[in-house]
Amino acid sequence: MPNPLLASQSRILKICIFATGCAGIVAEFVLSTLASYLLGNPILQWTILMSLMLFAMGLGCRISKYILNNLLDKFIFLEFTLSILCGISVALCYWASTFSRSTGLLIYSFSILIGLLIGAEIPLVTRMNESYEELRVNISSVMEKDYYGALVGGILFAFFALPYFGLTYTPIALGIINFLVASILFWKFKHLLYYRKAIQISFWSITAFFMISVFVVKPVILYSEQKKYKDRIIFEQQTIYQKIVMTQWKDKYWLFINGNEQFSTFDEEKYHEPLIHPAMSLSNQRKNILVLGGGEGLAVREILKYKDVEKVTVVDLDPVMTDLAKHNPIITKINQNAMVDPKVNVINQDAFSFIEKSEAFYDVIFVDLPDPNSVSLSRLYSREFYSLCQRRLNKYGIIVTQASSPVHSPNSFVCIIKTMESADFTVLPYHNNIPTLGEWGWCLGLKKKVVSNDMLKAKVMEIELPPPPTKFLNRDAIISMVHFGKGVLEKKEKVKVNTILDPILVKYYKKGAWDVY
Residues known to be catalytic? 368
In three state form, how does the secondary structure of 422-441 look?
HCCEEEEEEEEEECCCEEEE
- Containing 363, the helix (H) or strand (E) segment is strand 362-368
Phi, psi of 463 (to 5 degrees): -65, 135
DSSP SS3 for 256: strand
What is the gyration radius of the CA atoms in the chain, in angstroms? 28
The Cβ of residue 458 has, within 10 Å, a number of other Cβ atoms equal to 12
Whole-angstrom distance, CA of residue 379 vs CA of residue 160: 28
Q: Tell me the angle at which helices 410-422 and 383-391 cross, rounded to the nearest 10 degrees.
A: 50
What's the angle, vertex CA 147, arms to CA 144 and CA 153, rounded to 5?
Answer: 140
Contact yes or no for 406/482 (Cβ under 8 A): no
Whole-angstrom distance, CA of residue 308 vs CA of residue 281: 12
The Cβ of residue 194 has, within 10 Å, a number of other Cβ atoms equal to 11
- HSE at residue 33, side-chain half, CA atoms within 13 A, is 25
Whole-angstrom distance, CA of residue 380 vs CA of residue 502: 13
